[in-house]
Chains A and B, each alone.
Chain A
Amino acid sequence: MIPAAFDYVRAGSAEEAISLIGEHGEDAKFIAGGHSLLPLMKLRLAQPSVLVDIGRLSDLSYIRDAGDHIAIGAMTRHMDIEKSPVLAEHVPLLAHAAGHVGDPQVRHRGTIGGSIAHSDAASDLPATTLALGATYVAQGPNGTREIAAADFFQGFLTTALAADEMLTEIRVPKMNGAGWSFQKFNRRAQDWAIVGVAAWRRNGESGVGLVNMGSVPILATSVSSALASGASIADAAEQAAAEADPQNDLNASPEYRVHLAKVLVRRALEEASK
């Protein structure tokens, strides 16, 4: 399968990338590792007229301790997140989840920024960073702004990013010793999750993100509220799908996904509570 024809330009800096995307208009797309976009282009579900390659902006590939949070450059690859000692210490849930994205070949190319900006509800890192209360930094022609993960995902493959904005950094609060768990249910090793759960728990606080339980990644706030008001794990897990709107596809019916979400949230909370 070969994508429809497009023009290709390579950006030498974030500023140049933003200027190029502004110049080429709505039919232009950024490409980083390309592991979300190229498959869609090969199926001709996406036919951008111009690709602005930001994959070589190595100054956007970093993982830094920034005090209360870890700052991750948008061009940081899944493999680098998976193997980061800084993340293993401070945000182990994210490092672990990154190690479950696709397979090693995919993790050598795919980036956290690309995954989040693409905002596929079936991808692991959007829901995981949502559960962790991350903040995303977007850069546009007039400077940068911060967007809370909870405000970022607006609909199917649709985000709060403006057409001329680029996601440049992901800020993830340190977990400070919170218990955590990542549950991914799929049928073949490297598949997307049929349902996935990223959860953490510390004292009365918790965060639960759901993968592939709707058109956007879902924050299961009812589960956290139930836990905060003293519900048992089993009772809180019954609320797993309260915010979700799961779809029907070849792998599972909505009813089955709701069932899976409850089971996986219960398992995740049990593991996170150990």
Chain B
Amino acid sequence: MQIRVTVNGTVHESDVEPRTLLVHYVREVLGLTGTNIGCDTSSCGACSLHLDGEAVKSCTVLAVQADGCEVTTIEGLATDGEMHPMQQAFMQNHALQCGYCTPGMVMAATSLLKENPNPTEAEVRIGLEGNLCRCTGYHNIVQAVLSAAGGQ
């Protein structure tokens, strides 16, 4: 099926099988491998990206469902070589260890701040409930999101 998706500001027209998952589309068709596949069962959040501005788990969305939509992946956050404030906050707060969950965490966190620009620590923790970090780095992740919220 022919789809037309705007990914990180660029329009892509592709012919995909209906069963193609959005995460496979961005990784394998578009070559944007920053979006990771973790559990592949909509639990871990590693594959989070923005669909029309909201975080979704791209392992549980069909590429054909994104036809006509705007997608932002981790590669689309930086502007003119400058990291997004959330990416900077993750770096400054050492909010990652192995880094596998990080793209999903950053995408979920930016979506969270869009909906709740000044969250409490508890709201950040609840707001990131859909993202798992196996290095148990939640403390610094929460600090990073709070610092990004304060800086925005």
State whether A190 touches B43 (Cβ < 8 A). yes
Q: How far is the CA of A42 from the CA of B45 in the complex (A)?
A: 17
B window 111-145: CB within 8 A of A = 111-112, 115, 126-127, 129-131
A5-B17, A8-B1, A105-B130 given; A34·B43 CB < 8 A = no
Q: How far is the CA of A1 from the CA of B23 in the complex (A)?
A: 11
In this complex, how many residues of chain B approach chain A with their Cβ under 8 Å: the count is 33
> For B102, what are the chain A residues with a Cβ–Cβ distance below 8 Å?
none
In this complex, how many residues of chain A approach chain B with their Cβ under 8 Å: the count is 30
State whether A51 touches B55 (Cβ < 8 A). no
Q: How far is the CA of A42 from the CA of B131 in the complex (A)?
A: 20
> For A25, what are the chain B residues with a Cβ–Cβ distance below 8 Å?
none
A38-B60, A105-B130, A189-B129 given; A6·B19 CB < 8 A = yes
A55 interface hit (Cβ, 8 Å): yes
State whether A104 touches B108 (Cβ < 8 A). yes
> For A102, what are the chain B residues with a Cβ–Cβ distance below 8 Å?
42, 130
Who on chain A is nearest to B44 by CB? A190
> For A55, what are the chain B residues with a Cβ–Cβ distance below 8 Å?
65
State whether B18 touches A51 (Cβ < 8 A). yes
A39-B60, A53-B65, A109-B60 given; A7·B18 CB < 8 A = yes
A35-B42, A38-B60 given; A105·B19 CB < 8 A = no
**B127 → chain A closest CB, angstroms:** 6
State whether B42 touches A39 (Cβ < 8 A). yes
State whether A1 touches B40 (Cβ < 8 A). yes
A35-B42, A38-B62, A39-B41 given; A105·B48 CB < 8 A = yes
> For A106, what are the chain B residues with a Cβ–Cβ distance below 8 Å?
42, 57, 60, 130
> For B70, what are the chain A residues with a Cβ–Cβ distance below 8 Å?
none
> For B24, what are the chain A residues with a Cβ–Cβ distance below 8 Å?
2
**B37 → chain A closest CB, angstroms:** 10
Q: How far is the CA of A190 from the CA of B2 in the complex (A)?
A: 34
A3 interface hit (Cβ, 8 Å): yes
**B97 → chain A closest CB, angstroms:** 20
**B42 → chain A closest CB, angstroms:** 6
Residue in A8, A41, A103, A105 with the greatest tally of chain B CB atoms within 10 Å: A105
State whether B129 touches A104 (Cβ < 8 A). yes
**B112 → chain A closest CB, angstroms:** 7
> For B19, what are the chain A residues with a Cβ–Cβ distance below 8 Å?
2-6, 41
B window 2-32: CB within 8 A of A = 17-21, 24
**A33 → chain B closest CB, angstroms:** 9
**B28 → chain A closest CB, angstroms:** 11
Residues of A in contact with B (beta carbons under 8 Å apart): 1-8, 10, 31, 34-35, 38-39, 41-42, 51, 53, 55, 79, 102-106, 108-109, 188-190
A35-B60, A38-B62 given; name 4 further pairs at CB < 8 Å: A8-B1, A8-B18, A55-B65, A108-B111
